[in-house]
A and B are shown apart, each in its own frame.
Chain A
Amino acid sequence: QQQVKQSPQSLIVQKGGISIINCAYENTAFDYFPWYQQFPGKGPALLIAIRPDVSEKKEGRFTISFNKSAKQFSLHIMDSQPGDSATYFCAASSTGGGNKLTFGTGTQLKVEL
């Protein structure tokens, strides 16, 4: 019940295209859903996060879509650039769970010229 399932495992997108990464969860107590970007040999960096009271949040080229009834959320990267090539992790936490993050398995994104 604590799992967060993430897909796809890897993704290749052409420059300028849209990258879409999906996550699904089971634990209905989760109330915070962040996305992290990680470059090789670096720590994860917070990209964008959403709470269940909204269905979409946009920050620059990054958008989270959230479907509470389906227990799914996704990251959309618009106008993907080679510099976006990295590993992306979705995560979820609950206030009652001490804000411990449960991470997805990660998606390795490659943006080709």
Chain B
Amino acid sequence: GAVVSQHPSRVICKSGTSVKIECRSLDFQATTMFWYRQFPKQSLMLMATSNEGSKATYEQGVEKDKFLINHASLTLSTLTVTSAHPEDSSFYICSASPLAGGNTDTQYFGPGTRLTVL
């Protein structure tokens, strides 16, 4: 149980285009989803917290107009990187916390999406 999927797993795009990444909790409902980015050999950096039906909360230094987050349902959150540039190339990972049960503070992570902007 507690499986989180991401799509796509890998994407290559041209500079200036927008890319959408989907995060789904497959076997549980998630009231909260989180988006992280990770550079090679570094730790995970939280970008934003996404709650179903409300606006995402962005961490300091993260441009909300560049990284659009939509949490349309209790099992789906999307991250859209708008007007992507090479410096946006990174590994993007989502996580989800169960709505109910004893582990509502546990985050289950997706497999990640490797974004390369040419």
B73 at the A/B interface (Cβ < 8 Å)? no
CA distance A98 to B91 in the complex (A): 24
Q: Which B residues, 9 to 36, have Cβ-Cβ distances below 8 Å to chain A?
A: 32, 34
Q: Which A residues, 31 to 79, have Cβ-Cβ distances below 8 Å to chain B?
A: 32, 34, 36, 41-46, 49
CA distance A89 to B109 in the complex (A): 13
Interface SS of B by simple majority: strand
Q: CB distance A43 to B46 under 8 Å?
A: no
Interface size class of B (residues with CB under 8 A): 20 to 34
Q: CB distance B44 to A89 under 8 Å?
A: yes
A43-B93, A43-B111, A43-B112 are contacts. A104–B43 as well, Cβ < 8 Å?
A: yes
B63 at the A/B interface (Cβ < 8 Å)? no
Q: CB distance B46 to A100 under 8 Å?
A: yes
A43-B111, A43-B112, A98-B32 are contacts. A103–B44 as well, Cβ < 8 Å?
A: yes
Q: CB distance B105 to A100 under 8 Å?
A: no
A residues whose Cβ falls under 8 Å from a Cβ of B: 32, 34, 36, 41-46, 49, 89, 93, 95, 98-101, 103-106, 108
13 A-B pairs (CB sep. < 8 Å):
A32-B105, A32-B106, A36-B109, A43-B111, A44-B93, A45-B109, A46-B108, A95-B105, A99-B32, A99-B104, A101-B46, A105-B42, A106-B42
